[in-house]
Amino acid sequence: MGMEKAIFGAGCFWQVEIDFANVEGVAATAVGYSGGHLASPTYQDVCGGRTGHAEVVEVEYDPAKVSYDQLLDRYQGPLFRLAMGHLHDRDAAEDAVQETWLQVLARLDRFEGRSSLKTWIFGILLNVARSRRRRESRLVPFTSLFRRDEPGGGPIVDPDRFNAAGNWTSLPDNWANLPESRLLSREVLGRVGAAIDELPAKLREVIVLRDVAGLPAADVVALLGISEVNQRVRLHRARGHVRRVLEDYLR
């Protein structure tokens, strides 16, 4: 039996591609776009939401080592990442994702369509993960409540990049001239995933829901029970941390 290919749509292919690449039996992965009305769009075009394209991941795999159904199971990257943000344990996160799908199947006939199906599923996962965290939580050192050195904390931009008048002395790096193949390389995507993983939970869940799962801001506000301003601030801080990591790597 020869190699086969499968294409999976993704709200954002950042971390989905890395998740597939780490599966035994997967020989190659590639990211790209599907559908849409603009020929040869750039990543910026698609992210702007003006072209009608969907971000997709093409997976070349050996069916003797991994089945399509197993790949489909793996296609839970954003759900798993969000569960990990709450539970901090791979086995617990995998159990939470499985419990989520069981609840989806059991409650599907009660889905009222007031949000997208994707948003509804993520809402179930959040409830499952939070419930498990409450059951399995342990006491943390009192001093840990006052940490200020977490990724995503502190200024979004290094204050040394401004002069006394508040003007830029060192502008943010412009990546427009970098080859798209480098921006979308496995190494860069891996750096993005690692930067997201090290964020505090409240920042991580927002950037996962917005930029990995591709949910709109209004849905994220409703799911997390936070204000639009709070959602925007958390996303800004999370993206700022990821950008700092990439700036250091791409220089």
Supply the mean pLDDT for the chain. 78
**What is the structure's pLDDT at 224?**
92
**What is the structure's pLDDT at 146?**
41
- Candidate CATH numbers 3.30.70.20, 3.10.28.10, 3.90.120.10, 1.10.10.10; the one for domain 147-250: 1.10.10.10
Residue 10 CA to residue 47 CA, distance in Å, equals 12
Residue 147 has pLDDT above 80, yes or no: no
Task: Supply the residues annotated as catalytic.
Answer: 12
**What is the structure's pLDDT at 227?**
94
Give the angle subtended at the CA of 44 by the CAs of 39 and 50, to the nearest 5°. Answer: 60
**What is the structure's pLDDT at 142?**
43
pLDDT band at 173 (very low <50, low <70, confident <90, very high): low
Which has the closest alpha carbon to 3: 28, 31, 24?
Answer: 28
**What is the structure's pLDDT at 235?**
92
Residue 106 CA to residue 37 CA, distance in Å, equals 38
Residue 234 has pLDDT above 90, yes or no: yes
- Residue boundaries of the structural domains of the chain: 4-74, 77-136, 147-250
**What is the structure's pLDDT at 220?**
93
32-84, pLDDT tens digit by residue? Answer: 887 778 888 877 777 666 787 777 788 899 999 988 877 876 666 778 888 88
pLDDT band at 139 (very low <50, low <70, confident <90, very high): very low
Number of Cβ atoms within 10 Å of the Cβ of 118: 16
Q: What is the 3-state secondary structure (H, E, C) of the chain?
A: CCCEEEEEEECCHHHHHHHHHCCCCEEEEEEEEEECCCCCCCHHHHHCCCCCEEEEEEEEECCCCCCHHHHHHHCCHHHHHHHHHHHCCHHHHHHHHHHHHHHHHHHHHHCCCCCCHHHHHHHHHHHHHHHHHHHHCCCCCHHHHHCCCCCCCCCCCCHHHECCCCCECCCCCCCCCCCHHHHCCHHHHHHHHHHHHCCCHHHHHHHHHHHHCCCCHHHHHHHHCCCHHHHHHHHHHHHHHHHHHHHHHHC
Window from 42-46, 124-128, 148-152 with minimum mean pLDDT: 148-152
**What is the structure's pLDDT at 128?**
93
**What is the structure's pLDDT at 14?**
57
Superfamily of domain 4-74: Peptide methionine sulphoxide reductase MsrA (3.30.1060.10)
**What is the structure's pLDDT at 145?**
39
Residue 226 has pLDDT above 60, yes or no: yes
- Asked whether 79 and 45 are in contact (CB, 8 A), the reply is no
The larger pLDDT score, comparing residue 16 to residue 193, is at 193
Mean pLDDT of 104-131: 87
Residue matched to tokens 């480098």: 182
**What is the structure's pLDDT at 68?**
83
